[in-house]
Amino acid sequence: MKRGCIQRTGALVLGVMGVLFLLPAAAFAHLVTTGMGPVYDGIGHLLLTPEDLVPVIALSLYCGMRGARAGRYAMFMLPLAWLLGGLVGLNLDLDVTIPVPALSFLLLGGLIAADAKMPDQLIGPMTAMIGLVHGVLNGLVLKSGPGGPALLGIMGALFVLVALMSAFVVSLERSWTRIVVRVMGSWVAASGMLMIGWYFRGQLS
């Protein structure tokens, strides 16, 4: 029963992830206002921003492929690093125009597609790096809106997402299901390449 619930939830999140690939990233380049307070605004911002949500899901999938221990690393490390980066971003005055999240797409998508066997000792630092970078970018956006309290909502959403998605992949028993996860990784990497391509196309036009 418990495993079936995890698998259904994971499949639902993967379906949402697939839909996000079809939506233009520019449509999400603004703050989300839920009307329920800054904490919920933070949750909404994460869930409706593909540049953040897709790397989070991709990291969860990869850690799940590496086993329960790697999933636990990400479950605690990512929210903490994201919070730290967010606090830094709230106090910075930067105008980031390059598609920094595309690097996360390429890195994580490539690792998943290749089923790369990264040592557990490296998964923690990689998770921290991704959390710090995306946290800083979030802080830069949130400082003109809900600010610090929104980061708490993002932390909670990150913990739940990573826990569910990594557990979902760990629970997969049939070999073909892991192939499906690897195919999704290739989509993530391809999306990162498209983001970079669109950026340079805009610069040259």
Q: pLDDT tens for residues 61-74? A: 999 999 888 888 89
pLDDT in tens, 158-202: 999 999 999 888 888 777 888 888 998 999 999 889 888 888 887
Q: Is pLDDT at 27 greater than 80 in this prediction?
A: no
Residue matched to tokens 């802080």? 139
Is pLDDT larger for residue 147 or for residue 66?
66
CA 59 to CA 159: how far, in whole Å?
12
E strand or H helix at 162:
helix 148-170
Q: Is pLDDT at 203 greater than 90 in this prediction?
A: no
CA 97 to CA 90: how far, in whole Å?
17
**Can you list the alpha helix ranges (DSSP code H) found in 67-147?**
68-90, 101-114, 120-142
CA 202 to CA 8: how far, in whole Å?
40
Contact call for residues 127 and 60 (beta carbons, < 8 A): no
> What is the tally of structural domains in the chain?
1
Give the residue-averaged pLDDT of 10-33.
49
Q: Whole-angstrom distance between the N-terminal and C-terminal Cα of the chain?
A: 55
For 199, the domain range is 2-21+28-204
pLDDT-derived band at 24 (thresholds 50, 70, 90) equals very low
E strand or H helix at 2:
helix 2-21
CA 108 to CA 185: how far, in whole Å?
7
Contact call for residues 31 and 144 (beta carbons, < 8 A): yes
